[in-house]
Amino acid sequence: MSKEDYRDKIEEHRQSFEEEKELETLSRASRVKRNGGNNKQKNTQRKIPLNTILFIIFILIPSTILIYIWVFYEPGKTIEEAEKDSSGSIVEMAKPGDKSDIKVTEDKDDEDTKANEQAENQAQKDAEMLAAKEKAELEAKKAEEAKKAEAEKAAEDAKKAEEARKAQEAAAAKVKTHTVKEKENLYRIALNYYGNGSEATLAKIRAANGMTSDTVWVGQVIKLP
Amino acid present at 74: E
Asked if residue 78 and residue 8 are part of one domain, the reply reads yes
In-domain check, residue 144: no
Asked if residue 102 and residue 81 are part of one domain, the reply reads no
In-domain check, residue 140: no
Domain count, the chain: 3
Kindly report whether the global pTM for this prediction surpasses the value 0.75.
no
Q: Which domain holds residue 109?
A: 96-135
Asked if residue 30 and residue 67 are part of one domain, the reply reads yes
Q: In the chain, pLDDT over 90 holds for what percent of residues?
A: 21
SS (HEC) of the chain: CCHHHHHHHHHHHHHHHHHHHHHHHHHHHHHHHHHHHHHHHHHHHHHHHHHHHHHHHHHHHHHHHHHHHHHCCCCCCCHHHHHHHHCCCCCCCCCCCCCHHHHHHHHHHHHHHHHHHHHHHHHHHHHHHHHHHHHHHHHHHHHHHHHHHHHHHHHHHHHHHHHHHHHHHHHHHHCEEEECCCCCCHHHHHHHHHCCCCHHHHHHHHHHHCCCCCCCCCCCEEEEC
Asked if residue 115 and residue 79 are part of one domain, the reply reads no
Predicted confidence (pLDDT) per residue in 123-182, tens digit: 999 999 999 999 999 999 999 999 999 999 999 999 999 888 888 777 666 668 899 998
